[in-house]
Structure 1
């Protein structure tokens, strides 16, 4: 997210795609005629799906809270030799800096950037304000993370003259709720198209794509914009001569199947703007985790245990905030040669007690081979239930050794 100061007017970043020549508010109409025009415009939308995506969220919160950082390149990251950038402000991005980049690389590219440690409690606090503001514009909201969500505003169509008005109202509400932060909004009749649209004019953008223009809007975009097409799949599609979403939409079905298998049909439907999936309110979380990539490798139980206990305490704090109890626990270690090891156990009783979780995690540590250096330590809990009252953990049971997985990138715990 980014502040609107120093940028052009908001209207310059808003658009119906393609540009339209008429909207009910663009001419002077009697009230009855204006209402009829509103019904006519909104009736052309079988669904009104919104994707709202905050702009450089963590970095913009730091700039909001610390005025001296505004207009300067900001990197949100722990300061360590193995740290990665969590968020880069828009001032840092022209230097080729982005999220998930090694901090050492980011500093070489943008040596004058200010590195700020993340404050996740503050980010969650602002996120709650954002989601409350968004919820007032929808009958269903599907948060994807702290800083983005889908909304279904179909049932509220009578409140707005056009989808563009809805988008502007959403942006104003978020700005007011957060004290000045901006959100980019995409509106269409399908989730995938709305998500692509929200990225179309970032930061502080608004893009509206009517139902009859969805396929045309997607067609010129590169294939990597398709959901699920990443660094491995994109070259395969490009090797078939399919470089744009429009190419995929028009491709021979058999050719796509030869490259992608059973996934080909779903991908081609998305490329054509066909995405009937509903906005689904988030279900209760099934797991929580906390892990730490160490600045230097450690070896042996005595060196690992303090980091393990700290991770267990962090998980316990998250359980308490969410008013949840855990019925299972898992410990994860990543070795210096990137092997991922994990052990888990079922807890005798649900708990969110920090010391009991730390003790259970420490007991699990004894089930690992600890004669090799470790670079990452994590604790996760699963089998989460609502907190109905204080529970006491006695012992944990049924230790399940899952063994070592093959080398590869670590997945989240739980």
Structure 2
């Protein structure tokens, strides 16, 4: 039986700021861009008591918590601290799969210290993070990544939770469908319309019907409902997409202005493709309107998308499929290039989503 640990740093960015700046300790803080279009990247637990959370507009966060302190992020520093955390991981196992800057899976089935219990390893790692880095982390332990990920969220902050194989189905049965890894708001709403509210409800739906409704993801949902997740802890991550997006200081609806913004977005995308030495053949245009509704349009071709000549004409064609007006202006525009994805790998999708947030963290804050 595999022994998988998922480590998730608690309110990572905010906790680092409170650690490094004693005057912020015990106070409600939010890391993010303090501007008209700013968004909360991470909120301290003191701020969360007021309902402040990540992806919330700064303006709303301030209304909920009048004493909220906004701290500009220092992503380079957070990355350095993340590397220090990973140095601790590496003393226990080489099978480490980062999910984002503040969380990772560890396969400790065969570990460097020959410790028989994954629980003891997780406790020791948590203790060292607290003692050496003065930060807290939560840990989830189980026999697969799906359950380890969920377990780490179960008793945050500074918590630890083990889901034993004998208790897995019982745990899943009571789990709200919104809390399943890989099920977002829209997918949850579709499941609610199907009468699916818990893991037990999900397990009653046939595999064929789930695939019919959700495509290849239906296979994943079918397995997750049964506690099945055979994906290994993958140390060799291959990037699946590269993109960029801009939130405008003011909503736009004039065609010439939109075309200019599209042109600049294409140029930035090309630079990022070169920087990451990335090749893909699917271009996706993302538009978010002033009311926060969002649409995407994609086009796939056989030729690699890596230059202005290959990307700009397709971007313009995708834009022609988008409607906008003075009453329905555009708030955000984004472009990304993607390889042909195997959508059975939710882990890679989550990593790519985080990568885009990482790239946009300071320069282009938005409601991710």
Instruction: Give the TM-score, by structure 1 length.
Output: 0.64
Which of 220, 224, 235 lines up with 1:266 in the alignment?
Answer: 220
Paired with 1:108 and 1:313, the residues of 2 have a C-alpha distance of: 35
Q: Secondary structure at the match of 1:130?
A: helix
Q: How many residues align?
A: 322
Q: Please say if 1:296 is aligned against 2:256.
A: no
Tell me the residue number matched to 2:206.
Answer: 253
Q: Does the 8 Å CA contact 2:244/2:269 hold for their aligned counterparts?
A: no
Q: 1:154 to 1:125 in 2, by over 3 A?
A: same
Q: Secondary structure at the match of 1:346?
A: coil
- The CA deviation at 1:139 is 3.1
- The CA deviation at 1:192 is 0.6
Q: Which segments of 5 or more consecutive residues in structure 1 lack a partner in the other structure?
A: 1-45, 348-359, 384-410
Q: 1:284 to 1:319 in 2, by over 3 A?
A: farther
Which of 44, 50, 75 lines up with 1:95 in the alignment?
Answer: 50
Tell me the residue number matched to 1:72.
Answer: 27
Q: Please say if 1:278 is aligned against 2:232.
A: yes
Paired with 1:52 and 1:208, the residues of 2 have a C-alpha distance of: 12
Q: How does 1:4-403 map to 2 (within 5 A)?
A: 46-156=1-111, 159-177=114-132, 179-249=133-203, 251-253=204-206, 257=210, 260=213, 263-285=217-239, 287-297=241-251, 308=264, 312=268, 324-325=276-277, 346-347=306-307, 375-376=331-332
Choose between structure 1 and 2 for higher RCO, CA contacts under 8 A separated by at least 6 residues: 2
Deviation per CA, 1:203-257: give whole Å up to 9, x if none: 01111222222222222221212233333333444455543223333x1537954
- The CA deviation at 1:279 is 0.9
Tell me the residue number matched to 1:32.
Answer: none
Q: 1:228 to 1:341 in 2, by over 3 A?
A: closer
Q: 1:382 to 1:49 in 2, by over 3 A?
A: same
- The CA deviation at 1:341 is 8.7
Q: 1:122 to 1:312 in 2, by over 3 A?
A: farther
Paired with 1:192 and 1:180, the residues of 2 have a C-alpha distance of: 28
Paired with 2:222 and 2:181, the residues of 1 have a C-alpha distance of: 11
Larger gyration radius, structure 1 or structure 2 = 1
Deviation per CA, 1:79-132: give whole Å up to 9, x if none: 222222111111111212211112222111112111112221112221222223
Q: 1:301 to 1:191 in 2, by over 3 A?
A: same
Q: Secondary structure at the match of 2:46?
A: coil
- The CA deviation at 1:314 is 12
Tell me the residue number matched to 2:344.
Answer: none
- The CA deviation at 1:74 is 0.9
- The CA deviation at 1:291 is 3.5
Q: 1:67 to 1:271 in 2, by over 3 A?
A: same
Superposition RMSD in Å: 4.3
Deviation per CA, 1:261-298: give whole Å up to 9, x if none: 66545323212212111111242435544433122247
- The CA deviation at 1:377 is 5.9
Paired with 1:189 and 1:93, the residues of 2 have a C-alpha distance of: 31
Q: Secondary structure at the match of 2:230?
A: coil
Deviates more, 1:189-198 or 1:154-163: 154-163
Instruction: Give the TM-score, by structure 2 length.
Output: 0.71
Q: Secondary structure at the match of 1:133?
A: helix
Q: Does the 8 Å CA contact 1:328/1:345 hold for their aligned counterparts?
A: yes
- The CA deviation at 1:153 is 1.0
Paired with 2:17 and 2:264, the residues of 1 have a C-alpha distance of: 29
Paired with 1:252 and 1:182, the residues of 2 have a C-alpha distance of: 39
Paired with 2:214 and 2:337, the residues of 1 have a C-alpha distance of: 35
Q: 1:188 to 1:58 in 2, by over 3 A?
A: same
